Amino acid sequence: MKKVLLMMATSLALFACSETEKPNPFFTEWDTPFGVPPFDQIENQHFVPAFELAIVQEKAVIDSITSNTEEPTFDNTIVALDQNGALMTKVARVFYGLAGTEATPELDSLKSIISAKLTAHGSDISLNQPLFTRVKAVYENRENLALDPESLRLVEKIYEGFARSGANLAPDKKERLRKLDGELAKLSIAFEKNLRHDNGTFALILTKEQLAGLPESVVAAAAQEATARGNEGSYAFTLDKASMLPFLQYADDEKLREQLYTGYLTRSNHDDEFDNKEVINQIVTLRMERAAILGFANHAAFVLDGNMAKDPAAVYSLLEELWTPAVKRAKKELAEMKKIKGTKEFNSWDWWYYAEKLRTQKYALDENELRPYFSMDNSINGIFELTTKLFGITYREITKEVPLYNKENRVYEVTDNNGEHLGVVYFDFHPRSSKNVGAWCTTFRGQSYKDGKKVAPVVSIVCNFTKPVGDTPALLTLDEVETLFHEYGHGLHQLFADVKYNSIKSVERDFVELPSQIMENWAFEPAVLAMYAKHYETGEVIPAELVEKIQKSSLFNQGFNTVEYLGASLLDLDYHTVVDPGQIDVNKFENESLSKYGLMAEIAPRYRSTYFKHIFSGGYSAVYYSYIWAEVLDADAYDAFIESGDLFDQATATRFRQEVLSRGGTSDGGVLYHNFRGKEASRKPLMKNRGLI
């Protein structure tokens, strides 16, 4: 009967496609180069039917597992569950990939509809008692099954997933948990939608007379942005960092700097329909209740129990250990900048402007002098050449061969050191009103195994970098170059993945930044700069004197960078260690949280509450600290290359690939790291890299 229902549902879905004369591409095998998504065929109308059929298919498999009259075994329960959901994964990766880059009102509406369906469906699975009974039976007998370590890990992670989703709860608590998950999913979407609106609609429109101090390249980009917004002849600066930060660095008019930075700091905090304060209130309250139902003291305790840190006390300990020396260094930086400004008054919107002047004064280093050497093409080539030296992999651009989801995409095939196809990488570099803010790596298809054969991933790197202007290519800042290396580190983690089971691919949140952050260490090494930092017009390799200035200024402004990051991390933890939030006055809570640690008035946290997407709609709630936690690992791991005497040592790189990058979540992060390094990570390299010792 179940098979009949499944066949009927499939037939109806295909019939619905024929009625529109546009076959749903999710219902067929993709006949595209390397099996990339057929973006040219996928339309918004295809998503809901595809998700609905995927739900029907998953339920049918779940029913077949629970109705099996045989004793629960590793194969008939755990493996069957792990292999379930191929269509769901196929559709979801494409949908959520496009929702972050090609958002439209229609796609936003679909996201709300689909999120509700998927949340309910997820609860149906995680709270399915007959299914959990079978999973639990295998789990409790796991030591007698002669399983290999990866299979044993699979049993444990699947069981833990059910337990952490409430499978052991009484029926009334399960029902409450189901409702909480549904509400939280809606609130996450609302937060993101409000932020995208505020970020996209704000623009500082200026005349030529108001541009004093700004470099010619920044002015040209602002003119291009103004024209795109229908203000030809004017100059527009937006809240995208590629536009905002150069303005804060160079604009002489302090009032205009204040206006732009205030626009950034107050996003979704205007007491209007796009305000996020009430959304935050509801999220914090519901997360607290959810944690309590699951038996945890607070949301942070629940989240961290599944991460390397294990509990909030360990995270507070690390953050507070770094906080004092970071503030001390930031105050020194502030004192130096106040001397340049010549007044006692110093505001947060002054920091970038006078930091740039201080950098010029101390190191004779002007970022605009560097930009011509860091074109987008050169920077990508730098990453490719570096990873070829480390891992032996090679690249071929295939943009014209494959479907694109946006005309700005650049696409590459990656070939492994043995000549085999390793994967495909899509790049999406520049801001659009349809894109979420920030930079991230995701996959349109993750690595997997099908019928015993490895399926290669399709990776997507998304950024919001400086745009090209006229005939001048995109010329990146050092920060943008570092971000590109960072995100490609995530890409390598996906490309090198070689995990048999789907349910143990993911690593802990406080481990996931290790593969990305270690790549940043190579970005500005002299030997690496010589490979890719070449003048976009002349091809001249960056002069030795500029390289020396970059090296000497490597610790510049690290007090500020560390303090603004730690401030956001502490704010995140404070929100999620609240036991009885009641009705939070978000602005007051934030101010009290940061003032108790002694955050300087001249520094705002990297993210204020109403636009803190990482923790309220980005999956980093209670783990924003993970970047610095992983930085302890990446700094120590990079020391392994230094200790080898060769920054491109292939033996060390191969060991890192085999023990970390290829392993997914087949062991705890701490175990994976120890397998690579042979010891626990020391905090000393991190402290040294940030100038805190």
Q: Residues of 533-563 as b/e, b for ≥16 C-beta within 10 angstroms?
A: bbebeeeeebeeebbebbeebeebbbbbbbb
Q: What is the helix (H) or strand (E) element at residue 424, kind and residue range?
A: strand 421-428
Any idea what DSSP says for residue 275? -
Q: What is the pLDDT of residues 603-649, one digit of tens each?
A: 999 999 999 999 999 999 999 999 999 999 999 999 999 999 999 99
The per-residue pLDDT for 147 is: 97
Same domain flag for 106 and 215: no
The amino acid that residue 41 corresponds to is: Q
Same domain flag for 16 and 95: yes
The per-residue pLDDT for 19 is: 47
Longest dimension (CA), the chain: 82
- pLDDT beneath 70: ranges in the chain: 1-21
Same domain flag for 219 and 143: no
Same domain flag for 214 and 157: no
Same domain flag for 417 and 493: yes
Residue indicated by tokens 């590459």: 412
Same domain flag for 135 and 233: no
Residue indicated by tokens 């509809």: 113
The amino acid that residue 220 corresponds to is: A
The per-residue pLDDT for 693 is: 87
Q: What is the pLDDT of residues 491-544, one digit of tens each?
A: 999 999 999 999 999 999 999 999 999 999 999 999 999 999 999 999 999 999
| 272 domain-assigned | no
The per-residue pLDDT for 16 is: 47
| 14 domain-assigned | yes
Domain edge (last residue) among 117, 137, 164: 164
Query: How many residues make up the chain in this entry?
Result: 693
Residues acting as catalytic residues = 487
Under 8 Å between Cβ of 465 and 432: no
| 138 domain-assigned | yes
**C-alpha–C-alpha distance, residues 637 and 635, integer Å:** 5
Instruction: Give which of 254, 269, 203, 249 is closest to 230, Cα–Cα.
Output: 203
Which two tokens mark 119? 């949340």
| 53 domain-assigned | yes
The per-residue pLDDT for 501 is: 97
Same domain flag for 544 and 411: yes
Same domain flag for 132 and 210: no
What pTM value is reported for the model?
0.92
Residue 6 structural domain: 2-126+128-164
Number of domains in the chain: 3
The per-residue pLDDT for 641 is: 97
Domain edge (last residue) among 217, 250, 265: 265
Same domain flag for 386 and 535: yes
Under 8 Å between Cβ of 397 and 386: no
Q: What is the helix (H) or strand (E) element at residue 287, kind and residue range?
A: helix 277-293
